[in-house]
């Protein structure tokens, strides 16, 4: 059995990663998790300048899930490179910085700075940000903007470029195709779904930011359906995420067409989940006589 996978010609030793924003800059989990067992570590979104984030409270639990409105709080790309990345020098797993900008220029500027470091294995591009130079429309909701942005970033790096899709769109397939046309090596889906909780005592939204992003087991069926549809629209690998807590959840994603998966909210519940999921995938492969992740895709009709 060989569970390694390739994205943009580069190898990941196993298909289980930890999702951006749920694993900090990695070092926070150092004492709890053996990084060498992780296929990939996607770090918290970095932006060009540091961001302090949204008003509090920023999280609230919902049925089988949670809402967050962290507001991309992060140290900014320069401190990320000088302070955070070096901590991961010895991590022993693929490091995939996740980046976001509010203009195309910002995305490009961040990527150029990261290119100076040898540590990133590749990049994940968070396109769930408003494009302030184009009326504030979220990059990820407009195929033309996605294709243009991807093509621009493609010219900057030869490392694997993964576009992370938002499910808050009318048709996720068109966005995935735009990423492929722009030269992406893979797409990951899904980011969080917009949601809200209202406190009936105060009659006001609970989150300081009013709305937040829904994640956790509640969104898993949305994630699986997104992967299923995207896989049938593109030829590049699809990375599935959304609500994965167990190996069975992950296997659903592989059967839908994912080549790799990420665990997000699950890390909060039990930092041991990525390791348990990987072990469970191996057991399943052994039991079902599967030798590679590609074997899961023979069931795709």
Partner 1 sequence: MKQIQAKVTGNNQIAKDYYKLVFSWEPPPDTGPGDSYPDFPNPQPGQFITIRVSETTVPLLRRPFAFSGYNAETGEASIIYLKRGKGTEILAGKCPGEYIDIIGPLGNYLKKPENKQKPVLVAGGIGLGPLLYFSSMLDQWQIPHLFIFGARTARYVPDMNSLKNVAICTDDGSKGFAGTVADFLNNFEEKELEHTMLYCCGPLPMLKACHGFATEYDLECYVVMEQIMACGVGACMGCTIKLKKPQGYARVCTEGPVFKSRDIAWT
Ligand X SMILES: Cc1cc2nc3c(=O)[nH]c(=O)nc-3n(C[C@H](O)[C@H](O)[C@H](O)COP(=O)(O)O)c2cc1C
The distance of closest approach from Cβ of residue 67 to partner 1 in the complex, given in angstroms and rounded to an integer, is 10
Verify binding: residue 258, ligand X, rule CB under 6 A.
no
Taking CB under 6 A as the criterion, which residues in 130-159 touch ligand X? none
Please say which residue, 183 or 271, places its beta carbon nearer to partner 1.
271
23 binds, among partner 1, ligand X, none (CB under 5 to 8 A by kind): partner 1
Cβ-based neighbours of 120, under 8 Å, separated by 6 or more? 85, 95, 96, 97, 114, 159
Verify binding: residue 21, ligand X, rule CB under 6 A.
yes
For residue 81, give the 3-state DSSP assignment.
helix
The distance of closest approach from Cβ of residue 203 to ligand X in the complex, given in angstroms and rounded to an integer, is 26
Verify binding: residue 192, ligand X, rule CB under 6 A.
yes
Element (H, E) at 263: strand 260-263
Please say which residue, 81 or 99, places its beta carbon nearer to ligand X.
99
Which one of 248, 270, 286, 288 is in contact with partner 1 (CB under 8 A)? 270
The distance of closest approach from Cβ of residue 190 to partner 1 in the complex, given in angstroms and rounded to an integer, is 18
Calpha distance 265→236 (Å, rounded): 26
Count of alpha carbons within 13 Å of 194, Cβ hemisphere only?
9
19 binds, among ligand X, partner 1, none (CB under 5 to 8 A by kind): ligand X
247 binds, among ligand X, partner 1, none (CB under 5 to 8 A by kind): none
Q: Is 129 a known active-site residue? A: yes
Calpha distance 192→65 (Å, rounded): 11
Which one of 9, 63, 135, 289 is in contact with partner 1 (CB under 8 A)? 63
CB 129 within 8 A of CB 100: yes
Scan for tokens 């992967």, then name that residue: 227
Strands 161-164 and 123-126: parallel
Question: CA angle, corner 134, sides to 131 and 136, nearest 5?
Answer: 50
Cβ-based neighbours of 158, under 8 Å, separated by 6 or more? none
Calpha distance 164→212 (Å, rounded): 18
Please say which residue, 47 or 290, places its beta carbon nearer to ligand X.
47
CB 200 within 8 A of CB 206: no
Would you give the binding string for partner 1 spanning residues 182-211, x where CB under 8 A is met? ------------------------------
The distance of closest approach from Cβ of residue 130 to ligand X in the complex, given in angstroms and rounded to an integer, is 14
Please say which residue, 126 or 142, places its beta carbon nearer to ligand X.
126
The distance of closest approach from Cβ of residue 121 to partner 1 in the complex, given in angstroms and rounded to an integer, is 20
10 φ/ψ angles, rounded to the nearest 5 degrees: -110, 145
Verify binding: residue 259, ligand X, rule CB under 6 A.
no
Interface residues with partner 1 (CB under 8 A) are 21-24, 28-29, 31-32, 44, 52-53, 56-61, 63-66, 68, 70, 73, 216-218, 245, 265, 267-272
């Amino acid at each position: 059995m060989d569970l390694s996978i390739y994205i943009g010609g580069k190898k990941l030793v196993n298909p289980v990663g930890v999702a951006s924003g749920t694993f900090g800059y990695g070092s926070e989990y150092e004492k709890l998790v053996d990084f060498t067992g992780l296929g990939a570590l996607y770090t918290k979104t970095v932006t060009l300048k540091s961001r302090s984030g949204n008003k509090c409270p920023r999280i609230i639990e919902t049925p089988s899930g949670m809402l967050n409105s962290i507001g991309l709080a992060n140290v900014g790309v320069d401190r990320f490179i000088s302070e955070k990345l070096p901590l991961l020098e010895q991590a022993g797993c693929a490091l995939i910085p996740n980046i976001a900008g509010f203009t195309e220029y910002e995305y490009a500027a961040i990527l150029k700075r990261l290119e100076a470091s040898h540590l990133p294995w590749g990049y994940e591009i968070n396109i769930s940000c408003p494009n302030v130079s184009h009326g504030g429309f979220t990059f990820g909701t407009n195929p033309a903007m996605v294709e243009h942005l991807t093509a621009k970033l493609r010219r900057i790096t030869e490392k694997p470029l993964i576009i992370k899709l938002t499910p808050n769109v009318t048709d996720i397939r068109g966005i995935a195709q735009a990423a492929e046309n722009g030269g992406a090596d893979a797409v990951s889906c899904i980011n969080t779904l917009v949601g809200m909780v209202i406190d009936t005592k105060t009659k006001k939204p609970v989150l300081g930011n009013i709305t937040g992003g829904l994640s956790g087991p509640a969104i898993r069926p949305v994630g699986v359906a997104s992967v299923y549809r995207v896989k049938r629209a593109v030829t590049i690998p699809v990375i599935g995420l959304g609500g994965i807590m167990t190996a069975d959840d992950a296997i659903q994603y592989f059967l839908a067409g994912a080549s790799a998966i990420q665990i997000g909210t699950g890390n909060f519940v039990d930092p041991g989940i990525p390791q348990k999921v990987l072990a469970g995938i191996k057991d399943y492969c052994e039991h079902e006589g599967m030798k590679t992740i590609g074997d899961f895709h023979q069931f795709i009709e």
